[in-house]
Structure 1
Amino acid sequence: MEINSKNILEELQGNWNCTEINDSSKQESINYSFSLLISENLISCNGDKNEYWPSICNFESVGSLKDGYFYREDGSFLQIKSLIDNKLQIELSFKNENGDINPVLFQFKKELEETIY
């Protein structure tokens, strides 16, 4: 895991636009347009509905925050693979309709807040 911050949770907070989805269980490419708004313990998904992210859910850290593992209230696990500057890589592991664990890799880019003068 690559992280340029001592406080992962603080760095995660904000609006993240999905730029790429890699689901090894799917043959075709996946084209969803969505963003995640992450706060201290909530994730809300805005944009296209998809099977990976509910519209809103709670999450909490598992183990040490520096390890980058989180549990989502629907039973899924998130692992922060990389968090550098305004780029985030998350591996989401969830049970698919067959009951198998399906890891999916997401790339996000942080939407930077504009300063108004």
Structure 2
Amino acid sequence: MNTTNQTSGALRLTLFSTCLAAALAMLAQPALAADAANGQRIYLAHCAGCHGESGRSTMPNAPNLVRSQSLNQPDPVLVDKLRTGSNAMPPFLGILKENEFYDVISYVRNLR
């Protein structure tokens, strides 16, 4: 392999790595402009019945949300779970507005 091809390959690898790192960083960003106070209101109205007011589950199939590792997932993954529901949790698509999903996520991530 000549020097030109090695340099070209190194540049491609650097560009790819930079783009991949930027994409992953964007996915890991917390909800921008999320309103945790509104998230608390929504959580108490729709989620606390199963997950408990403090995030500690009151139902056998509802996970504890306090410091839950599942909350480390990117916002879009969590929003999708809220939209579609899972196991015993009902879907909230059509119940919550788009920004309200992020508000709830912001609130729940700060439960102690």
Asked if TM exceeds 0.5, the reply is no
**Normalization by structure 1: what TM-score?**
0.29
More helix, by proportion? 2
The higher radius of gyration belongs to 2
Structure of higher RCO (CA pairs closer than 8 Å, 6+ residues apart) = 2
More strand, by proportion? 1
